[in-house]
Amino acid sequence: MTWVAVASAADIPVGQGAFVEADGLAFAVFNAGGGRFYATSHQCPHEDGPLAEGWLEGASVICPWHGFDFDLTTGGCKVDEGLTIAVYPARVVSGRVEVDLP
Ligand code: FES
């Protein structure tokens, strides 16, 4: 495991995401509230929409372009089961969001 700090937890409001880059990789990081953060790929697999600009509904992020949903834990999409996003373990340590890079 390679945990890398990618953002300040305080900089990402509850229910929203942020685009971050670390070690040459780009991610979307989401704050689901209660200290729960999720990290996913940043591009929507539908038409490359910016997932970090999406919003959370339950345990899913909704793409801002056409409203497709992606589960933050599995990467699965209920609108189109053929689409998935990458998901990465995320945690908060001393106020910093860390992502376990692949
Ligand atoms: S680009 Fe994300 S739903 Fe279309």
pLDDT at 40: 97
pLDDT at 23: 84
- Ligand 1 centroid – CA 21 distance (Å): 21
In terms of CATH architecture, what is 3-27+41-89?
3-layer Sandwich (2.102)
CA distance 77 to 98: 25
Across residues 1-14, what is the average pLDDT? 93
Q: What is the pLDDT of residues 53-99, one digit of tens each?
A: 999 998 999 999 999 999 999 999 999 999 999 999 999 999 999 99
pLDDT at position 101 over 90: no
Sheet holding 25-33, edge to edge: 17-22, 25-33, 36-40, 87-88
Average per-residue pLDDT for the chain: 95
Please give all residues whose beta carbon lies within 6 A of any atom in ligand 1, as ranges. 44, 46-47, 49, 63, 65-66, 68
